[in-house]
Structure 1
Amino acid sequence: MKLLKEMIHPELATRTGRILRRHAARGIVLREQDQILLLFTERYNDFSLPGGGIGEDEDMELALVRELEEETGARDIQVKAHWGYIEEYRPYWKPDYDLMHMTSHFFVCDIAPELAEVRMESYEVANGMRPVWVSIKAALDHNLQVMSRQEETMGLSIQRETFILEKISREIIF
């Protein structure tokens, strides 16, 4: 496994204290003409890779398949390769913890051409999350503009997602 980056949120004063530890699996799904399958979230006005949390005893690749099916309606998912991971430290909003340490694993995947019905969780629906095929350049430009404007609704994950989109555009899509 390859460490792609360690990210420390600028508002985080220390990496010590009560730490919530999370692991996530995220899918890189590409198709011709520079198209990537992403999630657009209205609440945060950003694009992100599909995927999510891995249960305590859950296999990482099975968690990824589950998340891709739920969030995008992807079918016939083939996990091709573990591309790398990001270690991320950021503030956490629940009183039991001082910070979150998130490890996001990124996998290159293939899926069937057509997407089925999504099965998102209620908070994802409430946030206006939807799967979209978009050019990686358009998604990257959008996220960079949101970050440069420092939009009020900007989420904490946009730095991670923008970094990984830049890396995908340089290393996977030539």
Structure 2
Amino acid sequence: MRQLFEIDLRDYEDSDRVISRPSARGIIFKDDNKIALVYSKNEKYYKFPGGGIHKDEDKKEALIREVREEVGLIVIPESICEFGSVMRRQKSNISPYTIFEQENFYFTCKTKNQIVEQNLDNYEAEAGFILRFVDLDEAISVNLAYKSEDYFNEIMINRETKVLQMIKDALCD
């Protein structure tokens, strides 16, 4: 998969241990050119539906599971196409002397015309994750205004905003 860009804050020591948590994320457009995104009602940001890849899953299996859990959409497996990846490296916000490394794999895909119940983790429920269909410009605008005391979240939303902008630019070409 092609690398879209890399985020490396270099805020860690080279001797620090590395924790790797790859993720799969869905780029899902509906017929009216709106994109399906997770909206955090409490934090006021948009992100692509998706999340961590379990050790017993491949990227596409994780994408299907995560999209269903976070937003209740059912991915059509044969519609999945690679878009690109973003590597993120920074000091862990949880474990001292640890580097958090996450390769985020983005896939375009289609979903069935039905929405099932979300199955959110505690932190996702606390953030107020809901499915929204929005235009790219609205999602980019909301994310550009996003500020948080949690620097870890800001880096994530900056990444998502940059990918949204890349998608917009590709559609305009």
TM-score (norm 1): 0.88
Change (3 A) 1:171 1:14: farther
Deviations 1:59-105 (A, max 9, x none): 11011100011111112523421111011112212235422110000
Q: Which amino acid aligns with 1:84?
A: G
Q: In 2, distance between residues paired with 1:115 and 1:143? A: 25
Which SS does the other structure have where 2:158 is aligned?
helix
Which SS does the other structure have where 1:131 is aligned?
strand
Q: In 1, distance between residues paired with 2:165 and 2:14? A: 26
Q: Provide the residue aligned with 2:90 in structure 1.
A: 90
Change (3 A) 1:119 1:151: closer
Alignment of 1:30-45 (within 5 A): 30-45=29-44
Q: In 1, distance between residues paired with 2:158 and 2:49? A: 15
What is the root-mean-square deviation of aligned Cα atoms in Å? 2.0
Identity percentage of aligned residues: 27
Q: Which amino acid aligns with 1:23?
A: P
Q: Provide the residue aligned with 1:51 in structure 2.
A: 50
Deviations 1:2-46 (A, max 9, x none): 010011237x25555111111100000001333000001134321
Q: Provide the residue aligned with 1:21 in structure 2.
A: 20
Of Structure 1 and Structure 2, the greater helix share is in 2
- Kindly indicate whether residue 72 of structure 2 is the aligned counterpart of residue 73 of structure 1: yes
Given that 1:28 and 1:109 are in contact with CA atoms closer than 8 Å, whether structure 2 keeps it comes out as yes
Alignment of 1:134-153 (within 5 A): 134-146=134-146, 150-152=147-149
Q: Which amino acid aligns with 1:63?
A: A
Alignment gaps of 5+ in structure 1: none
Q: In 1, distance between residues paired with 2:75 and 2:33? A: 21
Aligned residues: 170
